[in-house]
A and B are shown apart, each in its own frame.
Chain A
Amino acid sequence: MSKEKIQICPEFYDIMPPEYRDLVEQATYGKEGRGWKDIGQSKELIEDHSLCAGCPESMAFRYILASLPNPEDTVMVGSTGCTSLVFPHVAVHNIHSLFGNQNAVASGLKRALSVRFPGRIKDVVVLAGDGATVDIGLDMTLQAWFRQEKFTTICFDNELYANTGGQESGLMRKGFVAKMAPVGKKFEKVRLPEIARESGCAYVVNCTVSKPNLVEKVIRNAVLIAREIGPTYLQLYTPCILEIGKNSMEGLQEMRDSEKPGERFRYYEYVTDSAKQFLAELEAKEKQTAAAAIEG
């Protein structure tokens, strides 16, 4: 998809539902420096969401879509779970893969896109729940990292299988009792960020989605590093308010509480030396451009 092609035939302009006209006129495709601040001003790349009211996944989705550096040339790969309810409303190319297969599908896709469109930037971003990423899909997740596939994996970590009513997941914390896991988790939360680091990811971040500017920064870094260097992994806490017994308005506070020092979703990152150098060069370039803009 290229933004030049996102045009309605003039004969049908007046009969197209308004959201499509909005998308053509006001979406942020191709806009330099797009980011979360566009939300609410420009057309977002998400129309409505079909998650529970107040589900933090809906915030996370909006921030991610607003922060993709290249949405018109990005393909997202999703998997079964609550996230898959949102993908039908997203105005970015996306593929729904069989539960757990997302990183295998993304590997083939990324390779095919580089053969089909040589010299053109095509980003692939996987977005799946923790059940898909760390349990049923762990093989595919790890193998993609071992093979150094150049795409970003985002895990919406809500610490259980939400879409099927609350079963235990590898990322669930020890001792937690869920609706469909009444005995309580007997093992520690799997340390996937560390596993990602050891498996060859160039950039790994663990955080919540309480701060949009932070989400914007890590998404952008992850996508740009995956393009140039190697696989990247983001583990974002998107609590399932339904399962932990919170109200619609309480998701944000839950995330704030869980990101305090010492808590499981405090911000931490693992960045390889080459990724650090890449980010430093990127920052220097951006400063140069900003300075030139002020002078000019």
Chain B
Amino acid sequence: MTDYRVVPGPEAYFTPSAARMGVVLPEPGEAHIEGVIVPEEKAMEYAARKLLDAKNPTLHPGPLVLWNWNEKAAKKAKAIKVLAECIPARIIPMPDYRPKYPKINPDVEINPNHPNLTIWHNKEDVCLFVGVHCHQANLSLKIIRGGTDCFTIAMCAQAGHEDAMLSFRDATAEKILRLAEWVSKLKGVPFVRPVDEKARGDGGDRYSDNVFVKLADGG
């Protein structure tokens, strides 16, 4: 195991990739904090605490959840909104990966080619990426680690990110809601599960992953 720790930067101009420094990805059911593999639940608590302690916690949803292209994306979008309201955190989207030189507006968007601009501009001290394609997330996370002192969290739907300071894997709407539940727990307030608009009053079945609870069920 490596001694290298993926901690907030600014690390250096040519930040090494964490993978090159020996950091490995978590197995299913696990996550990593600063490069150390931990059970997912521990990372949930840690991430919730980080987001709550932050001065300017910010969520950065990417195209995979910004666009309503399938049911999973729609559910994740709802869950992200719940998380943002629980913390509360600002949401700044990453709608595009294209290098939009020279007119990125750091007030309204973040872009993987110069994520540091948005982070500096908004004085973000903790941020969470979700719904960003992995190769673009890697690029972004490394630039952020290289040039800012922001703590990065990746809510990754695939195998996780070594270059984030904390990374979940296999993200689903349920997992995002669990993080929101942790936030509420640490705040000492009850967590109210969102209602699925589609299921409301239509007598339809619950979604199989039981993320959104119908009104009829008292959820």
Contact = CB atoms under 8 A, between A and B. Distances in A.
Binding partners A and B: yes
Interface of A: 5-12, 15-17, 20, 48, 50, 88-89
Contacts of B91: 12, 15
A9 B73 CA distance: 8
Given A6-B67, A48-B103, A11 B98 contact: no
A12 B99 contact: no
- Dominant secondary structure of chain B at its interface with chain A: loop
B88 interface: no
B66 interface: yes
A20 B95 contact: yes
Interface residues of B, number: 24
A221 B152 CA distance: 51
A185 to B, nearest CB: 34
A1 to B, nearest CB: 9
B81 interface: yes
A9 B108 CA distance: 17
B73 A15 contact: no
B193 interface: no
B95 A17 contact: yes
B93 A50 contact: no
A88 B98 contact: yes
Given A11-B78, A12-B77, A48-B103, A17 B66 contact: no
A9 B92 contact: no
Given A9-B77, A12-B81, A15-B93, 9 more contacts: A9-B74, A10-B68, A11-B80, A15-B91, A17-B93, A17-B105, A50-B101, A88-B100, A89-B100
Contacts of A48: 103
Interface in B72-100: 73-74, 77-78, 80-81, 91-93, 95, 98-100
Nearest to B80: A11
Interface of B: 61, 65-69, 73-74, 77-78, 80-81, 91-93, 95, 98-101, 103, 105, 108-109
A46 to B, nearest CB: 12
A16 B93 contact: yes
A20 B108 CA distance: 12
Contacts of B81: 11-12
Nearest to B103: A48
Nearest to A50: B101
Contact of B108 (A6, A17, A50): A17
B132 to A, nearest CB: 14
B92 A15 contact: yes
Contacts of B92: 15
Contact of A88 (B61, B65, B95, B99): B99
A11 B196 CA distance: 13
A15 B73 CA distance: 17
B61 A12 contact: yes
B99 A9 contact: no
Contacts of B74: 9
Given A17-B109, A20-B95, A8 B100 contact: no
Nearest to A9: B77
Q: Which of B67, B77, B93 has the most CB of A within 10 A?
A: B67
Given A16-B93, A88-B100, A9 B68 contact: yes
7 contacts: A9-B67, A9-B74, A9-B77, A11-B80, A12-B81, A17-B95, A88-B99
